[in-house]
Structure 1
Amino acid sequence: MATAPANANLPLFYKDLVPLSSVDHADFHARALDRADFLIDQHAVPLTSDELVAASRFYPIVFSAGDNPVPLALMGLNEGINTFVDAEGKLVNPVYVPAYIRRYPFLLARLRPDSEELSLCFDPTANAVGKFDEGDALFADGKPSEATNAVLQFCQNFEEAGQRTSMFVEELKKADLLMDGEVAIQPEGADKPYIYRGFQMVDENKLRELRGDVLRKMMQNGMLPLIFAHLFSLQLMREIFAEQVKSGKMPLVTEAPIV
């Protein structure tokens, strides 16, 4: 989830990747973006397990379908719909912003498949890194600036959080706690409910049936609070749905996958 493969299969948001170089980018600056165009049509964003509690206050949290699920913050219930940003990509209300979004346009990536070494890269199409007059200089006297070192540290922390997330999900799978999710929401005046599938969630029945020693282990290693954060957050699906209705961003079909 955190490392870019070959350019033909770049992670979410990234359209291109260029390794940051003290030679090629000696006079480059990084500037803050006042809008996130890449979020306008994005309804789900990856989360690390470190963020589940903070994110659960604002987003429904689900797990992607498939054999290698990842936690996702839902910013909309339908593909192409994001209820947290306006038409210009600006946040409608102050919310927790997932680290995956804050990391963009930078990324630690393996430049060679046969090497474990990670290099700091950036997406040149983001219009956030370039030969600008404003922003933070990326290099000073041929060495990484404080701003670049801070970005590198953030990306390294994100990689480590990604590893913890993988272990968290593996423990969920080992305990057979994930199941296919389904949510039915009946709008007022509608003939039939909207059915959302295509995601995974924790099975509360299996959670209640876990042996005491397994539950104790989950409490001790910090998994249980994360599971509850996920489960509590699912109540926000109806709020997201209501926002979609309010903004007129409703699909014509009533059955659709979330992710």
Structure 2
Amino acid sequence: MIDALSTNASDLWPFILVGFGAQIIDGALGMAYGVISSTLLLALGLPPSRASASVHAAETFTTGVSAVSHILHRNVDWNLFAKLLIPGIVGGVAGAYLLSNIDGNVIKPFIQVYLLAIGIYLVWRGFRIPPKHKNPRLVAPLGLIGGFMDATGGGGWGPVVTSNLLLQGSSPRHTIGTVNSVEFFLTLSISITFLFHLGWETFTTYTVGLLIGGVVAAPFGAMLARHVAPRILLTSVGVVLTLTSAFGFAKWLGYIG
């Protein structure tokens, strides 16, 4: 088990690097910070509820910087933002409350398989079909489900919401920017819920490393989302989603320790 009180400055560097790399991917593609960071903390022995709480505490700051950066780069669709905000917060608070009281890993393998299939489709679509942008119709339910899965799994907002909005034809750049911006309010709500139910001891000093790396990287991720071609963004989202989902499912099967 991680001893939050025994760490020193040198112990934080690996977590700073992980936070930096994860936020670059998250800011540019709208997913992966929570998945990468949670996987690391769980591998080190932190229980799912504490790992999720630690990651969301760090994300409260990284997503704040990321949201400002995406707004400055004009990557946010405010109509889409309004449709996602409330359902996302409701789902996140509900998921954090349940994870504080029960094991939320039961449904994870089914979600991993679902996201794996979407990832493969997005890769195929990025290579074979020219992107045609249109306004997505199914938004609020995605926010609710994405917020719930994010809290229970330590990461899931981006994979669920970003991928499904892209599946409906939403602009990759504005989808990524909007989903990242809403995520600030989501992570803040989830962190407050975890704090209320689990207490301050939930948050380890490793959270500081993830936070520092993520905050430094956030502006660069937003810049990439603005300047990279839509087809490349779409394909990259599919690749990251496929790899992370396949890893999660393989771990559940026991092929990865």
Q: TM-score if structure 1 supplies the norm length?
A: 0.26
Q: Which has the higher contact order (CA 8 A, sep 6+)?
A: 2
Larger Rg: 1
Which is helix-richer, 1 or 2?
2
Which is strand-richer, 1 or 2?
1
